Each structure stands twice: as C-alpha cells, then as structure tokens.
Structure 1
Amino acid sequence: MFNLPDRYKTDVKVALKDFIPKDLKPNDKKRIKDAVKEVRLVYQIAGEEIPSVVDANYRCQAIQFFDIEVVDIKDAQFLASTYQNIIKPYCVIHMHDAKDEVYSFAVKRLNQQDDTQIVIEESLVTEKYPMNLPDEGRNRLLAYMDFLTIKNKLDKDFVYNDNFKMTEEEGLISDGAMDSQGERFIVNSSSQNRFHANWMNMMYPRLQIAKDLLKESGLIFISISDIEISNLRILCDEIFGASNFVVDLIWANKEGGGSSDSKLFRIKHEHILCYAKNIAEVEVIGIPVGNEDRYKSEDEYVKERGKYYLQKLGMGSIQYSQSLDYPIEVPDGTTVMPADNNGGKKACWRWSKQKYEWGKANGFIEIKKDGSGQWTVYTKQ
C-alpha cells in the first residue's frame, strides 16, 4: 500500500549486518553485501487489522515497508525471494539503483503445523520502472495499492474490474484529456513550455507496451520528424536500451523543390527510427535486387554511387506544371523542351529547374541523342 499516513512512518536505517541473517549460506551473505548499499524501514503498520487485497483469510496485523538501495537492479529478484521468506510479516520491498526501481510483494500465511514459520503462497516482483521518467504501469500499481482505497473497502467489494468498456467521456478522463468535472484540457500546443515533456509523457507508456508485444527477435520502426527525433532517441534508449539501437533511416518525403517548411532551409526528409528488443536475436534477411541487370552504366562516381541506368527527364504521364516546362541547353548550344522528348506532345520535366542545375553540377544528368537523332535529357538512377 502507498500514500500511507504519517503516523505509520518510521524511516529507520537498518544496519546491513543486522539485515543479513546469520544462518544464510556464505555465498548468499556475500552476494547481499555486494548488492545492497542501504536498507531503511520506512513505514510500519502494526496493532490494527488491515483489509487484505486477497481475501478475508489473509488479513494481517502488521505490514512493513522497506526501501533498499542496490548497486544494480538485476539483483532485485534474488533479494526479493530471500527476504520475503525471511521477514514474517507482510512486507512491501521497494528496491532501486540509480536508474530503475521495482516492488516486491508476497501473499503469506503461517505454517499450520509450525506457527513460527511462514508459507509463501504467491510472490511478485514488478517489472522495472524508470526512476526519473513517468510510467503508466507504475501509476496503475500505485493507484491499485493506495492505502485509502484498500482501507475503506471490504474484501467482498474489492473485486478486480474486468469490464473495460468506457464511454467517450470516461475514455477522455482515462487518457488525461478531460478532468472529472468534464472540462477538456488544453491541446498540447508548441507554445506551451512543457510541449516536449507532454509529448514524452504520452509516448513513454505506448513504447513500453510496444516493447512488451515484440518477440525477442522483433524490431520496431517509428516514423518521426526532426521536431521530436532527439527526444524519441532518449525514450527508446531508456526503454529498449541504447545497445539495441539499429539504425536511423533518413528518407526524402518530398519530391522536386519541396515546400518551404522553415524560414531558413527547405525540409524534405523525415526519420524512421529502428530499435530491436534484443539485437543479439535479430537476423536481417536481405532480398536480391529484382532488376539488377538494368544497372549497367558507369561513370567517374561508380565507386561512391555504383552503377546506374538512364531515365528520361521529360514525362508526359505526370500532371502538367508550367514551372516544370522550361528550356534546357544541350551540347550543341541549342535548347530542348519537355515536349521535344515526348514526341511533340505536351509534357514537363520531372525535376524543377533548381534541382536540374544541382543534378547537372553533381553528375546526375546525361544529355545525348536518341536513335532518331533527337537530343534527350536523362537522369542517372
């Protein structure tokens, strides 16, 4: 239980030598010494009957709440198993290192043949929750185990709700888009000081669920613009692990000159961020290039760009645009228009004049006569 009243607060530091039972095996004692940095008994409820979250047979008169700082959270499972069996009262053990935290719970009862011993009927160590980032799973846990929620309910009323149907209003409240009085919250506009933080709060639990749904050899691909790419990397490094980063695929999402997305530069690309659940299990199986035999031509850039094929710059099949219908000078000093490369029919170039000048300067344009002697403009693909 959480949000306990101050009357239960103890906040007593427990000496490590007193926290390690003398009858433990030497290897287990050493492991605890190496793993644990500090132990505190932060709360203790005693001398009153506490409603159980299980059923009436498991009501208890004492619950202890321990906070254990560990060197590495990977030792949490061992510590939880050890101390839930040693500590006779019900106890909640909160363990954390510098990055992550977990909680340990156990359903206990006295041994019917020997009431000096306890029997662990069920135990649980939660998934890891990040210490410094919001987490939907932790929020659900804290709400479910809230002190007043449990204290004010009889066991017969404390039933898990498996009806997930919601009205639109209930859904908005659950998603944080509306308060309990029916007032919608303000949209997360970029003018807000917490614009990026709000976006990260929204994305974090969704990415965590996505990771849980992946199999060990699975990959996730996330399309994102420049606006949040850096924050997405932070989230994914936290959830999937930086070592499971695969690639940041940058792709051109606009053809031609593009539109002016910025006061300074034309933005014509976005990102596809790829992470693995377990990169050691990933096998990327490539597929052969189906039309590889068409890439036969070479130029001075072959080592950097590979072979290429030629494609006409003039096209009659695309929607006509006057801005793409401009003259191009050919080697003999004359000019050609798109229609000249399309049998005299109305046409336009595939590239803007600005892009054509760039392509010409960087070796992506080839102009030569076709079989009928007509000067034809090609791009190197």
Structure 2
Amino acid sequence: MEKRLRLARNLLKSSGVIFVSIDDNEFAQLKLLCDEIFNEPNFIIDAIWNSRKSVSSDAIVSLNHNHTLVYSKNIDVLREDIKKRNRFKLPTKEDKFSNSDNDPRGPWTADPFDAPNIRPNLTYPITNPNNGKVFMPPSGRCWRTTNEEYVRLLRERRIIFGKTGQAKPQLKRYLQEAVGKGLTPKSIWDDVGTTTNGTQELEEILGEKKFNNPKPVSLLRRILELATDSHSVVLDFMA
C-alpha cells in the first residue's frame, strides 16, 4: 500500500486529488500513512459513506459505513483551481426549488437568514412585519447581512417569515442564481447507494456475483462530480 500511495502522489498534478476507501479495520493506520505521504495540511476530508442499510445483529455495534480519505497534492494550488473551475461542487438540485407565491423571478428556496459567528454589525433586532414579533440571531450566531442590506432585501421581497408568515426571517435564493454555482458537499454520504446496489449492478453486467462488497456506480459518480471535469485524467490504480 505504501509504495502504491507514494507512486500515486508522484503521478498527481499539483492541483490533483486522491480518494482512498477503507473500512474501520485499517482506517487508523491508513490515515497516519497518508498524512506522512501527502502531508497532513493537504488532508481535505474523511467522507463517511453509509455503505449498508441492513443491521448486523451478531455484532456489538453494527458497522454500516466505510471511510473515503481525500487528499490533495497541494492544498493551496487546489484552492486556486477550485475558484477557476468550480470543482468540489455538486449539481444544483432543481427539485428543491419551487414558486409557491408566483414570484416573477422564478423558482426559489428559503435559506436561513442567520450565519455562524458573532459580529456586532450583523447583530440587530428584526421585526416580523406580519405579527410584530422581534427576532434576534440564535445564540452564537449573527444575521447574514447588515441592517441596511436587510432593509433592502425586505423591500425587494426577498425576506420571508416561514410558510405562514409568522416565523423567523429566511432569505429567498433563486434557482437562476444557484445554477452553475453548485452545492457544497457534506462529509456524510448517505445518498450514493450501498454495497447491495453495487452487487446488483455487477450481477446485471456479469450475470453472477464475482466478489463481495463492490462499490455502486453512484458512489463513483459522486467522486467524479467533485474532483473532475471533461479534461481530467482519472486513474484507478488499485483495480
């Protein structure tokens, strides 16, 4: 494994990334080895893949996930490349957008108006114009914009107060703004199929079960969506 990983690092371009899947049995050792070879600052994420739905009743705790360690060759070069090429973004899910109020700007979704951190210039009372209720940011958080910007957004009807108009403020985000920007991926992958799906897919191709716990196509698609474009070169050197 060590020789293969060192070779993989040498083959990566400066903005390249590597995805390494492993189960719990060897995860700790692999993480230490990858930190040594790729350097710990180049570690991106340990993506937790929900690899099975069934429960192993004969175990103390049913193991239902695998790890996918993601490293860059040079994190600074990768960050610049992400800005230019919009990498590490998932396609916008258009079915999450609707237009219940017939907004002429088109389909939208409601995002929370609060954000992490505490900033004095982003901490102010907001009065719900529908019922007079006053809201402050939740504990440890602030609003997303200054008061002046909030007033402008409210005037433009981009601030809503829940489906009934009685809740805390939310910000309309329009589909036309979201398309092309993509979604930031999460570290827990529970929507990319399981090893059962992988087994079914292989049986459809080969006519029989050839090996245990194959990865589903949807998991590999997720990896390619995040890290590649039409000009990328992909190598599966463990195959």
The verdict on a shared fold, with TM-score over 0.5 as the criterion, is no
Q: Which has the higher strand share?
A: 1
The TM-score normalised by the length of structure 1 is 0.23
The TM-score normalised by the length of structure 2 is 0.36
Higher Cα Rg, which structure = 1
